Amino acid sequence: MSFHHSHHSHRHRHHHDDNDQYEDPTGVEVDGLVGDGPYEMEMLGDFGRLEQQQQYTREQPQQEDSSFIMDDILLLNHFCANAFPPRDDSEEAQIAADRSWEPVHHWILNHDANEFRAAAEQRDDAGKTALHFACQFNPPKEIIDIFLSAAADIVQWPDSFGWLPIHYACAYGAATDVIQSLADAFPESKTTVDRKGRTPLHFALGTSNYNSTDVLVLLSSTGAASYPDDNGMLPLHYACAYGASEEALYVLTDAYSDAITTPDRRGRTPLHFALSNAGRKASPAAVRLLLSLNEDQVNSMNGGPLPLRVLSEHAATLKEDEEQRESVENCLKYLLAAKPDPTADFFTALQSLPSFLQERAVVMRVVQELLNEKIAQRFPTAILLLDFYMQMLVVVFYSLAVEQSINRRFGGAADTSSDTAYCIVLYAGATYFFMREIIQVFSLISLKALHIWVYEPGNWLNVMYIIYMYVITGFMTTGKGNDDYFRIGAAAAFAFIWVKFLAYLRNILIDFAVFSGGVFHVMRRLMAFLICLMIILIAFSRMFFTLFVASADCKTNPPPTAEQLDLELIEESLDIKVWCTGWDSFLRVYTMLLGEVDEDDFGGNTFAIMLFVIFMLLVVILLANVLIAIVADSYKVIQDQRAAIVFWTNRLQYIAQMDAIANGPWKSRLRTCMGMSAIDRTHNVKVTFGKDLWRRFMELFEYEVDEGVFSFEFLCSIILRICALIFIPFWIIGGAVVAGWLWPPQIRQKLFTQAVSKHSSESDKEEQLRKTQIQRLQVEIDDLREELMQELAMDRTQMVQMKSAVAERKLEIQNEMKHIKRIVTMLFEQQGSS
């Protein structure tokens, strides 16, 4: 007895120690959800701890020693605690689990009702009875029925943490009929909460392998679906976190529809929990259901996180698992189909998606329409035009400034006034790009998305461009620095200028986006080829060098004298050999690869000529054709399969930058300083300046006059068209001068928008068909519900009538029995008198 009692005391003292962070069988860590992310819920509760403790109990030898003898009344607890559920779905596991309950059956058969009741009412230090233990291990229904018939009160007894037996049964996935029996024996248990505010419904949904809709209907029938725990989490939060089935979610949303938009203590709705586990197979159905019931939750609500950002954080943790990626992509499709508001936070979240998910997003029609809508707004258009103007100014004035600076350094020119004017323009251009990057960085910091700027290679190109322009312009202004090094640096600056200009063009024209994407894709594909080519070139160069080094030809060429400085004299007096040094050999082999060959280079060496023939066959003919095949194939992949992805990804990066700048902290502070109200960032105000006027101008050229050419109406139309032809060019040019700010929306759309996908994918068509079928099914369910309600009302009426008829019939039978009794009594009396 002493061993058993102390053993359970040890088992549960740690289990319910209030000083420790509480963990329970549902796997939910109440004081902060465990896992890598703030939404991830793992099965780290008491399951593992109880398994170890139960294994420890089973391994204790049942010795004959009197020191280990246990009180008979405590054996029931011991046997229930040592039973176990099936390990898997196999028949052998079920047989083994059934045998684990044989000691319990045997003990019950050998004790009367009073002894059983006394044993069932025994508690350990944690307040657990044998029924609590039994409910942990998927017990047979007959065992539970015996407990409920012989000791019915214990079903109402909570342990020291407020858990009833039904809490344990739900947490460990007991059979439906077992939970039904426990609920019928104590109906109030369905809404009984433990010390953390959780009902049995929370526990049932806190296990990823338990989705019995019958149990959920039973537990939620008395309003348990509306009970939040201490974290503010409803059962629907648990269901979405653990990947409950779509049918289970329907039960919970029907029982308490407000749960869809109810946030927990941290502002997280059930949608957030579904997206934080988007890799699960059931998550897409959950996301689709939640958004179909309320599309508004696709945006940030009540200060909570943006759902798309939650999906992005989860997707970044996925491994190379096709099934998980497919589930995440489906969740993304349902999110974007709900048409979220095109806020700065939305675009930065879209940009922070992993590459495989971002490529899927940018080809969706809804995203492309949003990007086109954004690029045609005033601010992104103005920045595009200002970038173009500054790029052109830098290109033109840098070329002029470099030429003047080199003439001054090497030609002795003294006039520096033009240099200074050119450099002022260059400083202005570099400062413009510098301020743009600074504003973008601070804007992303305010949106908590600085990592997007850090991981974007184009931003680092901009930083290098700005620094280089400041440095090289400073050397041109001051005239300092080594002249030769300045010439080299000035030449290298042209590479930065034109690469940046190409990066600009890829944001507005799909052909340039495909080209730049193709270049990088080809370079990645050519990495192995280039390494092999370099090895072959080095090998041949060393072979040629070995054949000619220290030969007579390499020793007969003295260095030129001062009198032979003229190039023609050098060429005549000096027979240049190309194999005498390692570097010269490598350069010569490289030029041979490009087709430059001179037979005199081999000096009649037979082996060198053989090497040359092999080199031409292996490198020039074979590898050159392999190179052409790789480049053509790689570029075709970009052009045919990834053209839209490359362009719309570039467009997304630009729009995310512009939206971050447009909604950055500088704008709010400026409006505050000017005494203006803050801007509502959740809704974008569409500017329609000049839209109607431009439309009317265009209608002038579409309008056909029915009257003759000499009619007054025709004359007026001609005059109006001439006025329009005069005014429109001035309008376009004037708008271009102010960076498109005065253009009507039609011009910006014409210049910068790109055609979107017009054909729906097969999955989209199937989804639309599914929605139609669901709507029809809902109508049929409503009709069926009405019919059932009417039939139930009629049945209740008939039952009342039947009860009345049975009562009347019972009264008649009683009267008849009394009459028969009197007759029989009279017969006995007459027989006795005779």
Phi, then psi, of 550 in degrees rounded to 5: 65, 15
d(CA 570, CA 196): 96
494-531, pLDDT tens digit by residue?
A: 888 888 888 888 777 777 777 777 777 777 778 888 88
Query: Do residues 141 and 175 touch, judged by C-beta distance below 8 A?
Result: yes
Instruction: Give the tens place of pLDDT for each residue, 4-44.
Output: 333 333 333 333 333 333 334 333 333 333 333 333 333 33
Counting Cβ atoms within 10 Å, is residue 229 exposed (0-12), middle (13-18) or buried (19+)?
Answer: buried
Nearest to 401 by CA among 379, 384, 389, 418: 418
When comparing pLDDT for 817 and 516, which is higher? 817
**Structure confidence by residue, pLDDT tens digits, 79-118:** 998 998 888 888 888 899 989 999 999 999 888 888 899 9
Question: Quick one: 268 exposed, middle or buried, by C-beta within 10 A (0-12, 13-18, 19+)?
Answer: buried
d(CA 531, CA 628): 16
| Each residue's pLDDT tens digit, 453-488 | 888 877 888 898 899 889 989 888 888 878 888 888
The predicted model gives 742-759 an average pLDDT of 79
**DSSP 3-state helix, strand, coil percentages of the chain (rounded to 5)?**
70, 0, 30
Q: Which residues 6+ apart lie within 8 Å of 613 measured at CB?
A: none
> Lowest-pLDDT range, 181-190, 204-213, 546-555, 743-752?
204-213
pTM for the whole thing?
0.68
Helices (H), 101-196: 102-109, 113-120, 130-135, 141-150, 165-171, 176-185
Please give the residue that has the higher pLDDT: either 136 or 37: 136
**How much is the pLDDT for 404?**
85
* pLDDT at site 548: 83
Please give the single-letter amino acid code of residue 833. Answer: S
* Whole-number pLDDT of residue 568: 47
> Could you state, in order of their start, the residue ranges of all structural domains in the chain?
1-8+24-56+68-233, 377-505, 527-644, 664-752
Superfamily the domain 1-8+24-56+68-233 falls into: Ankyrin repeat-containing domain (1.25.40.20)
Contact 394, 426 (CB under 8 A): yes
Secondary structure (DSSP) of 204-268? HHTSTT---HHHHHHHHTTSGGG---TTS--HHHHHHHTT--HHHHHHHHHH-GGGGG---TTS-
pLDDT at 639: 60
Q: How far apart are CA 419 and CA 6, in angstroms?
A: 93
CB 18 within 8 A of CB 162: no
Q: Are 512 and 564 in contact (CB under 8 A)?
A: no
Of the candidates 83, 142, 137, 139, the residue with the CA atom closest to the CA atom of residue 109? 142
Is residue 55 within 8 A of residue 48, CB to CB? The reply is no
Helix (H) or strand (E) holding 571: helix 567-573
